């Protein structure tokens, strides 16, 4: 629980209940459908963990990226730290949330929406990918977990991940948030990991403790052939120095090695999981 000092925005968009609040401990926070998404205090942890493992895994300086969701613009912010990026497309269906974040959360996007390499589209991400023939070095899925039956459910299925696979360059990577990884709450993480294994030859789960969530949080990198776990700490640090403009606050070689070293009970749960999420059998997260 977070005490609220000030309510900056409290509105219902066409798609969700959106709030921007301010708390004494976390600063400004984005809350969607009652769930904390990002805070001024520690968004750097979540967004660096979400973006950099994928971009560092690509075997050449990345040139193009697609963000699915990511309304506050912080995912874009991290991608644009790579001078080699020539084009960064963000597809978020909720234009109202993006407009609110752009106005009230400059601390998070830090001008990413105004970068000339950025293109923002407000439409269904699956429809966009299905009709596009563009290929990306990185595709990031930065979406809330689906809490009810609807279009969001179809962005977590084997069929959707097949489309993502086909929109990646040969050495491209998918990275995504994949829910909490605390004991007893692994079902979303393991189901998505299992579903990705049905599509991608390489699937690597990892985690980071995100303070505002109060729990370790799961992420996944998937690719045709490149495995982020092959990178040792000196290699990661070298790639950051070579590819990233400025310094990172959270991600480095030691953090990379630690994040992918999942504890035994999580590895066991991943090995035991057999569910493959499909359009006909979507995954719903209970609120």
From residue 47, alpha-carbon distances to 44, 74, 141, 214 in Å are 5, 7, 11, 16
What is the Cα gyration radius of the chain?
A: 18
- Domain definitions of the chain by residue range: 42-272
Contacts by residues 57-61 (CB-CB < 8 Å, ≥ 24 positions apart):
57/173, 57/221, 57/223, 57/226, 57/227, 57/228, 57/231, 58/137, 58/138, 58/171, 58/172, 58/173, 58/226, 59/171, 59/226, 60/171, 61/242, 61/243
Residue 150's pLDDT is 61
Catalytic residue among 42, 142, 166, 279: 142
Task: Please give the pLDDT value at position 285.
Answer: 84
What pLDDT does residue 3 have? 82
Question: Domain 42-272 adopts which CATH fold?
Answer: Rossmann fold (3.40.50)
Q: Are 125 and 154 in contact (CB under 8 A)?
A: no
Query: Would you say the pTM of this structure is higher than 0.85?
Result: yes
Instruction: Determine the pLDDT at residue 174.
Output: 99
142 is a catalytic site residue: yes
- Model confidence pLDDT, tens digit, residues 1-48: 568 899 999 999 999 999 999 999 899 999 998 889 999 999 999 999
- 206 forms bridges with which residues in the sheet? 219
Q: Which residues of the chain have pLDDT under 50?
A: none
Instruction: Look at residues 250, 254, 210, 218 and name the one whose alpha carbon lies nearest to residue 235.
Output: 254
User: Which three-class secondary structure state does DSSP give residue 269?
Assistant: helix
């Amino acid at each position: 629980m977070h005490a609220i000092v000030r309510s900056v925005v409290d509105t219902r968009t066409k798609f969700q209940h959106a709030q921007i609040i301010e708390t004494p401990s976390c600063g400004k926070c984005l809350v969607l459908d009652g769930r904390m998404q990002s805070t001024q205090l520690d968004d750097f942890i979540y967004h660096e963990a979400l973006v950099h493992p994928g971009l560092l895994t690509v075997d050449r300086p990345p040139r193009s990226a697609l963000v699915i969701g990511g309304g506050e613009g912080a995912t874009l912010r991290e991608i644009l730290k790579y001078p080699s990026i020539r084009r960064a497309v963000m597809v978020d269906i909720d234009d109202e949330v993006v407009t609110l974040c752009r106005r009230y959360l400059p601390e998070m996007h830090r001008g990413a929406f105004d970068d000339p390499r950025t293109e923002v589209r407000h439409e269904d991400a699956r429809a966009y990918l299905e009709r596009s023939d563009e290929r990306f070095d990185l595709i990031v899925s930065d979406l809330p977990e689906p809490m009810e039956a609807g279009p969001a459910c179809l962005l977590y299925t084997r069929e959707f991940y097949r489309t993502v696979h086909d929109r990646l360059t040969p050495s491209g990577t998918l990275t995504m948030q994949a829910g909490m990884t605390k004991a007893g709450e692994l079902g979303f993480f393991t189901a998505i990991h299992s579903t990705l294994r049905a599509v991608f030859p390489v699937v690597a789960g990892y985690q980071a403790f995100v303070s505002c969530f109060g729990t370790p949080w799961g992420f996944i990198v998937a690719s045709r052939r490149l495995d982020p776990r092959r990178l040792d700490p000196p290699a990661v640090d070298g790639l950051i120095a070579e590819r990233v403009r400025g310094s990172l606050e959270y991600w480095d070689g030691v953090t990379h090695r630690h994040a992918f070293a999942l504890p035994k009970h999580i590895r066991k749960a991943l090995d035991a999981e057999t569910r493959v999420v499909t359009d006909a059998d979507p995954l719903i997260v209970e609120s």
